[in-house]
Amino acid sequence: MSVVQTIYLAGGCFWGVEELFRQIPGVISTQAGYANGILTTDVTYERVCQGDTGFRETVRVSFDPTVVALGRLLWAYFQVIDPTIENRQGNDVGTQYQAGIYWEAGDVGLGTIIRRIADEERARVEAQRLPFRVEVQELASFFAAEAYHQHYLIKNPGGYCHIAPLEMRTVLAALAKG
């Protein structure tokens, strides 16, 4: 019996991030939601979009590490975000679109691996004399997004996404090659 691990990925609008990770073999489930804000109740899309809650549009990704390694998931993540900008991905602008990688409190081992991989990415970005703007921290809170946000691009195949369909297919193909 394998152990399920969970990470939380904020990469701009959660629709595309969820759709990409949902398709990766070894990912057991995905859920769009809001992470690390200041509210404890009434966490809604409309409230988060006001820009004063601190919440990030985030996808909870539960995966089987015997099928897909955390490093492969984070590789895919860094392929579809711009780690050099703050509070924006693609055409989506606002504090809710801040990129971030989070792990559950107490999961020290997972946090250590995430920090190591993020530090490698930070070094790659900063070697190009660019700022690294991805939040890398323990998860403070997570609230599931409204039902209409869950698997949005399956329900709305023509819906907007800052991750272009070709980019998504390219990342998935590279993961399949190993």
Query: Catalytic residue positions?
Result: 13
SS (H, E, C) the chain: CCCCEEEEEECCCHHHHHHHHHCCCCEEEEEEEEECCCCCCCCCHHHHCCCCCCCEEEEEEEECCCCCCHHHHHHHHHHHCCCCCCCEECCEECHHHCCEEEECCCCHHHHHHHHHHHHHHHHHHHHCCCCCCCEEEECCCEEECCHHHCCHHHHCCCCCCCCCHHHHHHHHHHHHHC
As a whole number of angstroms, the distance between CA 46 and CA 57 comes to 12
